[in-house]
Amino acid sequence: MDMNQYLEVFIDESKEHLQTINEQLLELEKNPDDVSIVNEIFRSAHTLKGMSATMGFEDLANLTHQMENVLDGIRNGKIAVTPELLDVIFRAVDDLEAMVVSIAEGGDGRRDVTAVVAQLKQIEKGEVVVAPQKSNAIQEQTYDEFEYTILKQSAEQGFHSYEVSVKLRSDCLLKAARVFMIFEIIEQIGEVIKSVPSVEMLEAEQFDDQFVVTVVTKVLQDELQKRIMKVSEVEEVNVQPVDLHRSENTVEQKEEQKKEQKEETKTVEQTVEKKQEEQEEKQTGKQVSNKTIRVNIERLDILMNLFEELVIDRGRLEQISRELNNPELHETVERMSRISGDLQNIILNMRMVPVETVFNRFPRMVRQLARDLGKKINLEIIGAETELDRTVIDEIGDPLVHLLRNAIDHGIETPDVRRAKGKPEEGTVKLKAYHSGNHVFIEIEDDGAGISRDKVLRKAISKGIISEQNAANLTDKQVYELIFASGFSTADKVSDISGRGVGLDVVKSTIESLGGSVSIDSEEGVGSVFSIQLPLTLSIISVMLVEIQKEKYAIPLSSIIETAIVKKEDILHAHNQKVIDFRGKVVPLLFLKDIFEVPVVKEEDDFLSVVMVRKGEKMAGLVVDSFIGQQEVVLKSLGNYLTSVFAISGATILGDGQVALIIDCNALIK
């Protein structure tokens, strides 16, 4: 039976079950006596085990089976729920997630989980489990039959087999590059038989700072160690000969496990089928089935691209229709425009994903951080059903992680400090998403220490980010903006979580690359709010078309405040910069024909056409020759060769076939 046709469904459903397990475990921690939560987790784990066994992923099924035994003990009141016990179960879920990711990437879903399984067995027997200390010793490696045969044959041919444990420095920046260099060295003198974590995970930097490789080589132990130690940012290398006798035993054990697993799979399939039949009997007549279909995101992308071409042709048809002035053609084109507008809305909505898919990762992360830092934190999630375009969702995860870690590490104080300030011991972090106009806003609010204006200014001056003269004139908002500068950190000591000054500058640049903005509001001693504004979608945008000499440019409507006609004599000069007085504010003028070096064809008038744009608090007036009007256009990238063009975010094809460049107002205002 060909299982590949079911693989995609298996991966999707496994991820859903693991997400349910994660969410319910967090609930269980709050309500340890609630058996219904345990039953919910048990059901998801049981289904996952049955599916994995049927698909032939034994390691996945084995680990889930072991986890199921512990859950059964909790359900029957034999095992008490403690934070330590949940730590172990969470660790098992992490391993299960890594296995599913490995399967999704075309791997076999194998992973060394002996340590977690041993702990789960201890819990099952009723022994107290202590979280294992991170040790530098090599974990015992296990080999399958094929790997064991290679090691045995190599030994017979006079090769040495070593298990090499490599520990990188904790502040290593390019872990994947270091791993590549280490593998290069090994492959010059021998061959890698096995690596834990797998090579794919090492390349994707999905490991802490330690990994183990099994090497077959003619070189001696000390020589191998010296060569690897030459790679920079390697802290420790431990080389041990492989114990072939031990490996033989583990191979035999695995064979026995396989036999047991096959028998168990049969019974699992029977019970799963039986349960499904029972559930179907219960559900019939109760609810109307929710008809959904899973669609690969790539297909939606192709659909979107084809529709974008349609939008370009629609613009062309509208222009031809105006020029020919034929009533019948006019009517048909108008009808087509309406239908394609509705089609556009449907396609955009199909690509919309609730931000819940990103937010779901956070409760688990916040719990772990709170335990590591010895803080009590309550995470409130509001508006998780708010929808965003899939492309934006994929990018927004990392910036939010940085901001949440920042709020927990720098914002929320420790319980004793909070008590002394008269605050409740438990700090609250609110993660809120909502729609407003053509944008989605995401806010991260904490009731922690807030931002100290003096501390930020002192640090900014010492880092040379700002001079003392300028510092005195800054508003509070401008001071808070300084923490987004590269390399900026107010942490007194560097922890695992933050304090290196990497993070907030990345947050700002990522969000701006998505056409969004981020701002801070804070009150010392009360708390802070980080507010992110994002566009709903990135591909079809509304723009104002303008003309500069004979060239056409498009300015996104989301950046424009208004347009104005200004007399030449109203232009003032300040600090070698042309400015105008606009509603009581001094606004600098930017002459786009000079910035983009547009060839001059026609003479200037006595009046200037100005487009007022803003980014956060800052404003500027873009001087153009004439306004053409508002239009919906398809944003196309300029391709790989033109990635660093100043102040141009992309291009679009207009109705008459001309190309108009889309202006990036954020870059101009900077």
Q: Which residues are catalytic?
A: 46, 68, 406
Q: Token pair 């690897």 is at which residue?
A: 228
Task: Please tell me the distance from the alpha carbon of residue 361 to that of residue 359, in angstroms, as a whole number.
Answer: 5
Structure tokens at 105: 């990437």
For residue 666, which phi and psi values (nearest 5 degrees)?
Answer: -60, -45
What is the number of alpha carbons within 13 Å of residue 477 lying toward its C-beta?
Answer: 7
Does the bond joining 197 to the residue before it have cis omega, within 30 degrees of 0? yes
Q: Which helix (H) or strand (E) holds 162?
A: strand 160-168
Task: Please tell me the distance from the alpha carbon of residue 449 to that of residue 445, in angstroms, as a whole number.
Answer: 12
Task: Please tell me the distance from the alpha carbon of residue 405 to that of residue 369, in angstroms, as a whole number.
Answer: 8
Strands 659-663 and 551-556 come out as parallel
Q: Report the length, in residues, of the chain.
A: 670
SS3 100: helix
CA-to-CA separations, 191 to 159, 160, 314, in angstroms, rounded: 11, 11, 59
Amino acid letter for position 203: E
CA-to-CA separations, 409 to 406, 453, 470, 495, 614, in angstroms, rounded: 5, 18, 29, 9, 33
CB 350 within 8 A of CB 300: yes
SS3 159: coil
Structure tokens at 295: 């669609």
Q: Which residues contact 421 (CB under 8 A, 6 or more apart)?
A: 413, 525
Structure tokens at 372: 């590591």
Q: Whose CA is closest to 186, among 233, 231, 137, 242?
A: 231
Q: Which residues contact 30 (CB under 8 A, 6 or more apart)?
A: none
Structure tokens at 189: 């003198």
Structure tokens at 221: 């132990």
Q: Whose CA is closest to 423, among 448, 450, 445?
A: 448
Q: Whose CA is closest to 7, among 49, 44, 68, 54?
A: 54
Task: Please tell me the distance from the alpha carbon of residue 213 to that of residue 162, in angstroms, as a whole number.
Answer: 8
Task: Please tell me the distance from the alpha carbon of residue 296 to that of residue 442, in angstroms, as a whole number.
Answer: 27
